Amino acid sequence: LDYQHVQVPFEITLWIMLASLAKIGFHLYNRLPSVVPESCLLIFVGLIMGGIIYGLNDKSPPVMDSDIFFLYLLPPIVLDAGYFMPSRPFFENIGTILLYAVVGTIWNVFGIGFSLYGICQVKAFRLQDVSLLHNLLFGSLIAAVDPVAVLAVFEEIHVNEKLHILVFGESLLNDAVTVVLYKLFRSFCEMPAIKSVDVFAGIGKFFVVGLGGVLVGLTFGMTAAFTTRFTKDIRVIEALFGFLYSYLSYLTAEMFHLSGIVAIIACAMGMKRYVEANISLKSHTTVKYFMKMWSSVSDTLIFIFLGVSTIGENHEWNWPYICFTVIFCLIWRALGVLVLTFFVNRFHVNTITSKDQFIIAYGGLRGAICFSLVFLLPDFHRKKLFIAATTVVILFTVFVQGMTIRPLVDLLAVKRKRESAPTVGEQIHIRFLDHLLAGIEDISGHWGQYYWKDKLEYFNSKYLQKILLREYDQPKSSIVLLYEKLERKHAIELAEAGQLGHAPSHPSLLNNDRIVITDKKLEDTLNPDVLENIQEILARNLYRIRRTGPAYNRHTLPGETEPVEHAKEILILRHKSL
C-alpha cells in the first residue's frame, strides 16, 4: 500500500465526493430542503464530521486553510455569480448598491469596533487588554456581508429582483472595502505610531483597490473575448478560455493587492456577451453547466469545512464579548440600512419599502470570508477570542437568520420575484422607454443612467463588437425571424398530432418563391441548435407559461425547466382553436 504517493489528489477527490453525496442525500428527502437551507445542513454535516475527527484523534480537526479558501474555493462561486448576474437590475441599482457596500460597510466596521471597545472598558468582563485598534480590526472582518452565505439563502427564498440584487450586489462589492480596512488596521496594529497621512493613504487606497479590480477584470474579460474569436478550429478547448482568463484576473488582482472578487465579476460580466456569441452552443452549454457545477461544489465544500473547523480548541469563550458582538452586528446593520435607505429614498421615485429594508438588514449573513480572515490574523493573545466570536456570529446568522428569513418573508408578504418572463410586448415597451429616456436625457443635457447606457451601446456596436466578435452581422429583422420560427414550430406540432397533409389549419404566409432561397435558409435552420432556440423563444414569449424554476438559481441552469408543461398548454390552446 502506497498511500503517501496519492494522498493529495485522493483526499481532495474524497472531500468533493463527500460533498456531492451529502447533496444527493438531502435531495432524496424532498421535505428537508424546503424547511432548512442547504447551507445549515452542510454545516451540520461538517460539525458531525469534525466531532468524529476530534473524538478519534483527540485533537482539533484541521481548520479550513485560508489559502485554499481564497485561491481555490471562492473564485468559482464569484465567477458563477458574476457570469449569471442579471445586468439590468444590477446597473439600475448600482448607486444604491455602492452606497450600501461602501458607506454601509464602513459604518458597520466603525460602529461595531467602537461599541465593542466600549464593552471592553467594563471591568467585570476582563477585556481591558483588547485595544481599540484590535476591536476595529475585528470589526473590519466581521462587518462584511458574505456573498456565499447570502447566495445560499436568497436563491431559495425568491424575493423580488431588486431586493435580491441589493443584498447580493452589496455582499460582492463590499469586498474592496473589507480588503482595504482589514489590511489597514492590520498594518496599524503592527505600527508603533499612526500618522494622519496613513489614514488618508488608506482612504485613497480604497479607490485604487476597487477601480483597479474593475480595470484588471475588464482587461482580462476583453482579452478572453478577443481570444475566442480564433477558436473556430479547436472547438474542444474554447470553453476553457472563459475559465482561464477569469481565474487569471482574480489571481492578478490578488497579486497586486486589489480586490479579486471585484476583478472576477468585472471580467465575467465584461466577457459574457462576446464569448457567448463567439463559441459554439455546445461549448457554451459546457461553460454554463460547468460554472454551476463548480460553484455548487465549492459552496458545498465551504459549508462543510466551516462545520469541521468549528469543532476544536481554538476558541476562548468570553461570553459577554461574543454576545455583544452578535447584538452589535444586528443593531448596526439595521441602523445603517435605515439611515442609508432614508437618503436613497429621497432621491428615487421607486423607493425601498420598510419591509424590504427589514429583509435587507436581516439578510446580512456572515460566512466563510470572515472565518478565513480571522484565521489570517497575526498571532496575539486574544486571537482565540476573536475566532470564537466569529464562529458564533456565523453560526447565528446562518442558522437563526437563515432559517427564519423564509417564514418572515412569507409573514411580511414581501414582494416576490415575478415568476414569468416578460412578454414580447413588455420587452418592446421597455426598450422603447429606454430609447425615449436616453433621448430626453440627451436633449436636457442631463448625463444620467440612460444617456451612458445609450453611449455604451453605441460604442459597443460601433467598435467593440467588430473587434471582439468572430462574425459580426447587422442584426436581422427579428419579426421575420420569429415568423419563420413559428412556421417551423407549427409544422412540428402538426406532425405530432398526426395531421400533416390532412388538415392544414392555417394557410402559410411563406410563398413558394421562397424555395429559391431555401438552400441558404436550410443552412441556418436545420441545425438542431436553432430548433432548440425556437422552443425557447416560443416558450418565453408566446405562451407565457408560469415558470416553476426561478430565473437565476445557482443550482439549476436556465432553461432547464421541464418542457412538459409548455407542451400541455400548447395542446390546450390548439384544441380551443379547432
Q: Which of residues 38-77 bind a second copy (CB under 8 A)?
A: 67, 71-72
Span from 154-162, 205-213, 421-429, 512-520 in contact with a second copy (CB under 8 A) = 512-520
Cα 247 from Cα 179, distance rounded (Å)? 19
The least CB distance from residue 290 to a second copy, in Å, is: 6
CA 157 to chain CA mean position, Å: 15
Site for a second copy (CB under 8 A): which residue of 140, 227, 310, 341?
A: 227
Determine if 32 is a binding residue for a second copy (CB under 8 A): no
State which of residues 1, 124, 479, 480 lies at the interface with a second copy (CB under 8 A): 1
Q: Looking at residue 416, what DSSP letter applies?
A: B
255 binds a second copy (CB under 8 A): yes
Answer yes or no whether residue 192 interacts with a second copy by CB under 8 A. no
Q: Binding to a second copy by residue 416, rule CB under 8 A?
A: no
Measuring CA to CA, which residue among 224, 219, 294 is closest to residue 253? 219
353 binds a second copy (CB under 8 A): no
Reduce the DSSP state of residue 132 to 3 states and report it: helix
Three cell numbers, residue 563: 418542457
Q: Closest CB to a second copy among 282 and 435?
A: 282
Report the site for a second copy in 108-137 (rule: CB under 8 A).
Answer: none
Q: At what angle do helices 147-157 and 368-375 cross, to 10 degrees?
A: 170
Neighbours of 380 (CB within 10 A): 14
Q: Between 94 and 281, whose beta carbon lies closer to a second copy? A: 281
**What minimum distance in Å lies between the beta carbon of 123 and a second copy?**
42
Residue 235 CA to residue 283 CA, distance in Å, equals: 7
In the bound state with a second copy, the residue whose beta carbon lies nearer, of 162 and 257, is: 257
Find out whether 469 and 278 touch, Cβ atoms under 8 Å.
yes
User: Which grid coordinates are listed for 350?
Assistant: 421607486
219 near a second copy (CB under 8 A): no
Contacts of 364 (CB under 8 A, 6+ apart): 145, 167, 329, 333, 397
Which residue lies nearer to a second copy by CB, 191 or 376? 376
CA atoms within 13 A of residue 564's CA, in its CB half-sphere: 2
Which residues does residue 159 pair with via DSSP β-bridges, in sequence order? 416
Site for a second copy in 529-568 (CB under 8 A): 531-532, 535, 555-557, 560, 563-564, 566-568
DSSP state of 159: B
Nearer to a second copy, 9 or 378 (CB): 9
Of the residues 108, 140, 231, 310, which one makes contact with a second copy according to CB under 8 A: 231
Single residue of 109, 130, 176, 239 touching a second copy by CB under 8 A: 239
The CA distances from residue 212 to 175, 208, 452, in Å, are: 13, 5, 21
Q: Does 36 bind a second copy (CB under 8 A)?
A: no
Out of 512, 546, 548, 576, the residue judged to bind a second copy by CB under 8 A? 512
Q: How far is the CB of 212 from a second copy (least distance, A)?
A: 13
Sign of CA dihedral 469, 473, 475, 478: negative
Give the phi and the psi of residue 410 in degrees, each rounded to 5. -65, -45
Binds a second copy (CB under 8 A): choice among 93, 171, 283, 309: 283
Query: CB 93 → a second copy: shortest distance, Å?
Result: 28
What the block records as the C-alpha cell of 406 is: 423564509
CA 525, CA 488: separation in Å to the nearest integer? 9
C-beta of 75 vs 336, nearer to a second copy: 75
Dist CA 524 CA 488 (whole Å): 13
For residue 13, state whether it binds a second copy (rule: CB under 8 A). Answer: yes
Q: Which of 16, 285, 77 is nearest to 24 (CA)?
A: 16
> How far apart are CB 306 and a second copy at their closest, in Å?
19
> Which residue from 59, 132, 198, 289 is in contact with a second copy, where contact means CB under 8 A?
289
Q: For a second copy, which residue of 292, 366, 382, 540 counts as binding (CB under 8 A)?
A: 292
CA 199 – CA 205 distance, rounded (Å):
10
The reply on whether position 234 binds a second copy by CB under 8 A is yes
Least Å distance, CB 317 to a second copy, is 32
The correct pick among 192, 425, 475, 528 for binding a second copy (CB under 8 A) is 528
In angstroms, what is the C-alpha Rg of the chain?
27
In this complex, which beta carbon is closest to a second copy, that of residue 57 or of residue 518? 518
Task: Choose the stretch contacting a second copy; rule: CB under 8 A; options: 236-244, 317-325, 354-362, 463-471.
Answer: 236-244
Residues 462-491 that bind a second copy (CB under 8 A): 487-488, 490-491
Question: Residue 284 to residues 233, 238, 296, 405: CA-CA distances in angstroms?
Answer: 16, 9, 18, 35
Pick the piece of the chain touching a second copy (CB under 8 A) from 40-48, 195-203, 389-397, 494-502: 494-502
Helix ranges (DSSP H) in 396-423 = 402-412
Q: Which of 231, 324, 214 is nearest to 277 (CA)?
A: 231
| 248 lies in the site for a second copy, by CB under 8 A | yes
For a second copy, the binding residue among 162, 257, 383, 416 (CB under 8 A) is 257
Locus of grid cell 459546457: 286
The nearer residue to a second copy, 408 or 531, going by C-beta atoms, is 531
Contacts 24+ apart (CB under 8 A), 410-413: 412/355, 412/358, 412/359, 413/355
Select the residue interacting with a second copy from 32, 244, 327, 339 (CB under 8 A). Answer: 244
Residue 497 as a binder of a second copy (CB under 8 A): the answer is yes
Total binding residues toward a second copy, as defined by CB under 8 A? 100
Q: Please state the separation of Cα 542 from the chain's center in Å.
A: 29
Q: Which of 60, 131, 219, 285 binds a second copy (CB under 8 A)?
A: 285
Which of 69, 83, 241, 375 lies at the binding interface for a second copy (CB under 8 A)? 241
SS (H, E, C) 64-100: CCHHHHHHHHHHHHHHHHHHCCCHHHHHHCHHHHHHH
